[in-house]
Amino acid sequence: MSVVVLRATEKDIEEIVNLHYDGIRTGFIRSLGKEFLFELYKAILNRKSGLLLVAKDQKSSNPIGFVAATTNSSRFYRDFLLSHSALKSGFIIIRRFFLFRTSTPNQVSSSKKNKQHKILSKLFKIYESLKYPINKKLDGLTKAELLSIVVDKGFQGSAVSTNLMGELKSAFNRKQIKSFRVVVSSTNERANAYYRKMGGALVCEIEVHKGHVSFVYRIYTHS
Ligand SMILES: CC(C)(COP(=O)(O)OP(=O)(O)OC[C@H]1O[C@@H](n2cnc3c(N)ncnc32)[C@H](O)[C@@H]1OP(=O)(O)O)[C@@H](O)C(=O)NCCC(=O)NCCS
């Protein structure tokens, strides 16, 4: 089978969302739902600071993997926060939150309280996810970042992930970006092994979400 890595288009987003949803099952972003993921990947595709590459089986043209990245993660998240897409995706969560708030205390059943608690904790996690790019430990490190990468299970262990990384490095290189970072859960052993194999050097550990250690790697684009 021959694989081609291309710049993604609007038509690829639905498949990219499915790949993310099926591939990163423990990630917090996934718990915000496919609608949120759709808005996020659309923003990565359309923002000047975003990079979205898709690997396709040349014969069928089916997406079998993707990599999403940004030339500046804090700028990307700031722009995303101020954009229409974020308003749209945040609306559902916030609307649900305020619907629960309008009930009087004795009308709030324990299951509603539970839901309210879950939504509050989700809002807090969104806040944590958006603020990690300004973590002091990342000071002085490149702001370019690989945000997510997924290869369909049936194609893992093949050249697809190497091709995606190669094309991402070339795309950054063309933008005169010499290195980028990647933040990954310390428990995702396969992804950690992959980033190290792709030249990643461990720079520091951070807690994007309290109590969960993530490793930060720097990867040079000219290897
Ligand atoms: C991360 C990912 C893109 C890597 O692509 P891949 O095709 O699986 O990569 P590889 O098969 O080359 O694996 C990388 C290394 O991990 C090793 N590895 C495989 N399974 C492993 C496991 N369970 N634990 C530790 N290492 C493992 C492989 O042996 C390989 O090293 P080697 O080639 O020297 O033997 C892919 O696994 C994936 O899509 N995972 C799900 C999504 C995800 O977690 N993305 C990263 C977070 S955004």
Which of residues 181 and 86 earns the better pLDDT score? 181
Same domain, 21 and 112: no
CB of 131 shorter than 6 A to ligand 1:
no
The token pair at 48 is 């000047």
Q: Mean pLDDT throughout 14-26?
A: 95
214 Cβ inside 6 Å of ligand 1: no
Alpha-carbon distance of 86 to 78, in angstroms, equals 10
Residue 106 binned pLDDT confidence (cut-offs 50, 70, 90): low
Q: Which domain holds residue 123?
A: 90-131
> What global pTM score does this model have?
0.87
CB distance 188 to ligand 1 below 6 Å: yes
**For position 108, what pLDDT does the model report?**
54
**Both 215 and 159 in a single domain?**
yes
What is the number of the ligand 1 atom nearest to the C-alpha of 152? Answer: 39
Mark which of 105, 131, 157 sits at the end of a domain: 131
Which ligand 1 atom is the nearest neighbour of the CA of 185?
47
Same-domain pairing of 124 and 136: no
Arithmetic mean of pLDDT, 76-92: 74
Confidence of residue 93 (pLDDT cuts 50, 70, 90): low
Q: Determine the Cα–Cα distance for residues 54 and 39; give it in Å rounded to an integer.
A: 17
Q: Which atom of ligand 1 is nearest to the CA of 162?
A: 12
Number of domains comprising the chain: 2
Sign of CA dihedral 24, 30, 33, 37: negative
> H-helix or E-strand containing 107?
none
One domain for residues 136 and 206: yes
What is the chain's length?
A: 223
- Domain boundary among the residues 131, 157, 190 is at 131
Looking at the fold, whether 33 and 67 belong to one and the same domain comes out as: yes
Q: Whose CA is nearest to atom 13 of ligand 1?
A: 194
Say whether pLDDT at 188 is over 80: yes
Do 138 and 125 fall into the same domain?
Answer: no
**Averaged over 16-21, what is the pLDDT?**
97
When the pLDDT of each residue in the chain is averaged and rounded to a whole number, the result is: 87
